[in-house]
Amino acid sequence: MITPAKTPILGTEEAIERLRSTVHAKAKNFYAVYSSILGGIVTDPALMVLPLDDHMVHRGHGVFDTATLANGMLYQLDQHLQRLLGSAEMARIPLPYPPEKLRQIIIETAAASGRRDASVRYWLSAGPGGFGLGPAECVGSAFYVVVFGAEFYPASYYTEGVKVVTSTVPIKPPFFARVKSTNYLPNVLVVLEAKDRGADNGIFIDERGMIAESSNMNVAFVTKNRVFRHPPFDAILSGITIQRMLQLARQLVERGELGAVRIADISVAEGRDAQEMLLVGSSIKVAPVVEWDGKPIGDGRPGPVAKKLLELWYEDVQNATDQLVAVPYPEA
Ligand SMILES: Cc1ncc(COP(=O)(O)O)c(C=O)c1O
């Protein structure tokens, strides 16, 4: 007996109609998308789609970065763009346009979103052209930008602190940790494992027993003798936020609020003995860790350096003109 087909075969009009009717509720947080495939910007979420034959989709041959849009300004756009270009070079993805044009497209997509506060994420991809492995078949590399409303971390992260666990997920080898590619499977698994264990996030430890980083954020410490500590950047992602916080922490040293800033390997034992532990990144900003593997860090409460650096982050986003790029919104 032949079973009647249950999977409809859709015509073009019907498929487009379904793209429209199946837009989910959360897509209201997607404000604008640029696609080099379309050669322009769309604001209808139904059209925010990628070709399945793009090698970023089926081979993970793509790199990305994210900048924060705050008060109508793109914060540290050039640093994030520079890291994107570095990632593309490591992933051997040729640029579809010169860097100035990529920058212009990001700024214009932010403007088209009409939003003054959002996240702006962009990808360079090997591009579409088939389902093979090597990019030789690709018709040309692709560039995509999305402006979206990110979900915020709970306020308790900052007022009560964050709980972390040591992850059992294998850490990426140094080369893959340094390139911000779309292969974030270990990063996703580290969060899922932490949640399973009743914590908020996980910490990657390298094979030498040294502290590396967290899911999509860096990990810093303040020792009992007031030294701001961070691991070297040769086997982890060089976070734009921590790089800025290291500059600001040096100002705290000049003002006598910290003893020193030191970048060197940090063993798990040293980390557990710290006065403060901090998670730092574009999405979390600066959050205090109060518990690691069920044991308190310092006195088990958010510490003053985490608080101070978070304040400095907010000040930076408001006032640091050398870190801000104005978005040219159309006249209202
Ligand atoms: C693995 C990883 N480490 C660290 C960071 C922090 O980097 P940034 O401060 O540029 O967001 C991120 C986020 O991009 C990340 O994905």
pLDDT digits (tens, 9 = 90+) for 171-183: 999 999 999 999 9
Q: How far is the CA of 281 from the centre of ligand 1 (A)?
A: 5
| Residues whose CB is less than 8 angstroms from the CB of residue 98 and which lie 6 or more positions away in sequence, other chains included | none
Whole-number mean pLDDT of the chain?
A: 97
pLDDT at 53: 98
CATH of domain 156-319: 3.20.10.10
Ranges for all domains in the chain classified under CATH 3.30.470.10: 19-148
The pTM (predicted TM-score) of the whole model is 0.96
Residues with active-site annotation: 180
pLDDT at 266: 98
CA angle 290–294–299, rounded 5-degree value:
35
pLDDT, tens only, 114-133: 999 999 999 999 999 999 99
| CA of 240, closest atom in ligand 1 | 10
Ranges for all domains in the chain classified under CATH 3.20.10.10: 156-319
Q: What is the mean pLDDT of residues 254-270?
A: 97
Exposed, middle or buried by CB within 10 Å (0-12, 13-18, 19+), for 272? middle
Q: CATH: 3.40.630.30, 1.10.1370.30, 3.30.70.520, 3.30.470.10. Which one for 19-148? A: 3.30.470.10
Mutation choice for ligand 1 from 77, 282, 316, 317, CB with most ligand atoms inside 8 A: 282
pLDDT, tens only, 151-201: 899 999 999 999 999 999 999 999 999 999 999 999 999 999 999 999 999
> Ligand 1: does its nearest atom lie under 6 Å from the Cβ of 239?
yes
Res 1 pLDDT > 70: no
Percentage helix, strand, coil, to 5, in the chain? Answer: 35, 25, 40
Residues 241, 238: Cα–Cα separation, whole Å: 9
| Residues whose CB is less than 8 angstroms from the CB of residue 185 and which lie 6 or more positions away in sequence, other chains included | none
- Which pair of structure tokens corresponds to residue 263? 């970048």
Render the burial of 9-26: b for 16+ CB within 10 Å, e for the rest: eeeeeeeeeeeeeebeee
Kindly indicate the confidence band of residue 3, based on its pLDDT and cuts at 50, 70 and 90.
confident
pLDDT, tens only, 79-97: 999 999 999 999 999 999 9
